[in-house]
């Protein structure tokens, strides 16, 4: 198991967290105000989503600042524990702090789905390999196509979705027929930190599926707890911040972000003739107008000037 001591040399600590808990509108406003004030005072950056169903977010700051943030969040929610995974980085993983009120903290688009009511059975990270290798299981990656492309558990089903909203339709079209033909199969699911699987397993149970499981703490917890030698993870794990991806040590990976379309770029993609820094990658080469490209070029010029003038700045490098 990795510990914070492995990463003390890095300046910034990142906390990815969520909790499904009922929150009234007046408390949502209070939570936003209190967390925004602390973040401004302690130079914490990141994004937090707050809804009547709970909270979901990732923030980055010094170790002391992040400790204060999580303590304040739990105090505001009146809870003694929260689902949180930590990692470290040499540079600030976000450009600003945003706290937003949303209808859902992870969007599936179905009001009746309530993870506080029911979810699948949790599988600990150190028990996940056994589940993966069980021939009587079907394992589903509930993340998006571009996330799965840069890392996954081999053999897992890829629903080929571009957003989590598309997952229920995939279940109806593909998973239901599969389980109907193989009713003895145990279903397992995983995602980055566990939150999407909370809703995905809840949805399956509401739809009448049985023997539904999910990886507790998601890929991030697996990478934290399972050694390289025993790991069945292949590739890197996409994260929704300026680091883009994490390697098995939970350190920033080899991928960068296309600042035209926002998709991850592999080291191989950077070498392709279709790639132009800040303007386009192979995935978006035909998606923007000339005026868009001109705007992207001016933005990249400004970024390059800042990086040249302030090479030691704390902003993650632009691709």
Both 91 and 181 in a single domain?
A: no
Both 24 and 84 in a single domain?
A: yes
What is the length of the chain?
A: 319
| Average pLDDT of the segment spanning 105-109 | 96
What share of the chain in percent tops pLDDT 90? Answer: 90
What confidence tier does 308 reach under pLDDT thresholds 50, 70, 90? confident
Exposed (0-12), middle (13-18) or buried (19+): which is 23, by Cβ within 10 Å?
buried
Both 48 and 138 in a single domain?
A: no
Provide the sign of the torsion angle of the four alpha carbons 136, 142, 145, 150, taken in this order: negative
Q: What is the pLDDT of residue 312?
A: 60
254 assigned to some structural domain: no
CA angle in degrees (0–180, nearest 5) for 260-165-163: 25
Number of domains in the chain: 3
Q: What is the pLDDT of residue 270?
A: 94
Q: Look at residue 266 and tell me whether its pLDDT is greater than 70.
A: yes
Q: What is the pLDDT of residue 307?
A: 79
* Domain CATH number, residue 78: 3.30.70.100
Q: Look at residue 176 and tell me whether its pLDDT is greater than 90.
A: yes
Both 226 and 126 in a single domain?
A: yes
- Tell me the CB-side half-sphere exposure of residue 12, using CA atoms within 13 A: 24
- Residue finishing a domain among 219, 234, 249: 234
Both 9 and 96 in a single domain?
A: yes
Both 147 and 214 in a single domain?
A: yes
H or E stretch including 204? helix 195-206
CA-wise closest residue to 279 among 306, 262, 258: 258
| Average pLDDT of the segment spanning 111-130 | 96
As a whole number, the mean pLDDT across the chain is 93
The phi and psi torsions of 83 (rounded to 5 degrees) equal: -75, 105
50 near 100, Cβ under 8 Å? Answer: yes
What share of the chain in percent tops pLDDT 70? Answer: 94
Both 12 and 81 in a single domain?
A: yes
115 assigned to some structural domain: no
CA angle in degrees (0–180, nearest 5) for 77-78-82: 65
| Average pLDDT of the segment spanning 30-34 | 97
Both 87 and 128 in a single domain?
A: no
Both 221 and 295 in a single domain?
A: no
| Average pLDDT of the segment spanning 67-73 | 98
92 assigned to some structural domain: yes
41 assigned to some structural domain: yes
Given the residues 60, 191, 197, 281, select the one marked as catalytic: 191
317 assigned to some structural domain: yes
Both 315 and 217 in a single domain?
A: no
* Domain CATH number, residue 136: 3.40.250.10
113 assigned to some structural domain: no
240 assigned to some structural domain: no
Q: What is the pLDDT of residue 314?
A: 56
Q: Look at residue 133 and tell me whether its pLDDT is greater than 90.
A: yes
242 assigned to some structural domain: no
How far apart (Å, rounded) are the C-alpha atoms in residues 314 and 302?
A: 16
Q: What is the pLDDT of residue 265?
A: 95
Range of the domain at 314: 259-319
- Residue finishing a domain among 41, 68, 101: 101
Q: What is the pLDDT of residue 52?
A: 96
237 as an active site residue: the answer is no
Angstrom distances, CA of residue 303 to CA of 259, 288, 299, 310, 319: 11, 20, 6, 10, 10
Q: What is the pLDDT of residue 126?
A: 97
Q: What is the pLDDT of residue 68?
A: 98
- Residue finishing a domain among 171, 200, 234: 234
């Amino acid at each position: 198991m990795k510990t914070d001591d492995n990463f003390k040399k890095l300046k910034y600590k990142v906390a990815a967290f969520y909790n499904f808990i009922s929150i009234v509108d007046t408390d949502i406003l209070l939570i936003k105000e209190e967390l925004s004030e602390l973040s401004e005072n302690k130079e914490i950056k990141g994004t937090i989503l707050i809804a009547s169903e709970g909270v979901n977010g990732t923030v980055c700051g010094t170790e002391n600042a992040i400790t204060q943030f999580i303590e304040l969040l739990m105090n505001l929610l009146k809870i003694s524990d929260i689902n949180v995974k930590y990692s470290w980085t040499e540079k600030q993983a976000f450009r600003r702090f945003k706290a937003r009120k949303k209808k859902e903290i992870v969007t599936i688009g179905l009001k009746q789905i309530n993870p506080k009511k029911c979810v699948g059975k949790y599988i600990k990270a150190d028990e996940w390999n056994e589940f993966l290798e069980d021939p009587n299981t079907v394992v589903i990656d509930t993340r998006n196509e571009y996330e799965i492309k840069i890392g996954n558990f081999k053999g897992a089903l890829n629903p080929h979705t571009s957003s989590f909203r598309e997952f229920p339709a995939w279940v109806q079209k593909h998973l239901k027929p599969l389980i109907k033909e193989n009713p003895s199969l145990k279903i397992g699911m995983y995602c980055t930190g566990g939150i999407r699987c909370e809703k995905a397993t809840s949805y399956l149970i509401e739809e009448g599926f049985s023997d539904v499981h999910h990886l507790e703490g998601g890929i991030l917890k697996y990478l934290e707890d399972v050694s390289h030698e025993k790991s069945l993870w292949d590739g890197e794990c996409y994260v929704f911040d300026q680091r883009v991806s994490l390697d098995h040590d939970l350190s920033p990976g080899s991928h960068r972000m296309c600042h035209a379309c926002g998709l991850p770029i592999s080291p191989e993609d950077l070498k392709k003739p279709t790639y132009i820094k800040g303007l386009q990658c192979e995935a978006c080469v035909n998606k923007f107008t000339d005026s868009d490209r001109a705007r992207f070029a001016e933005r990249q010029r400004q970024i390059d000037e800042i990086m040249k003038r302030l090479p030691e700045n704390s902003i993650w490098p632009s691709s």
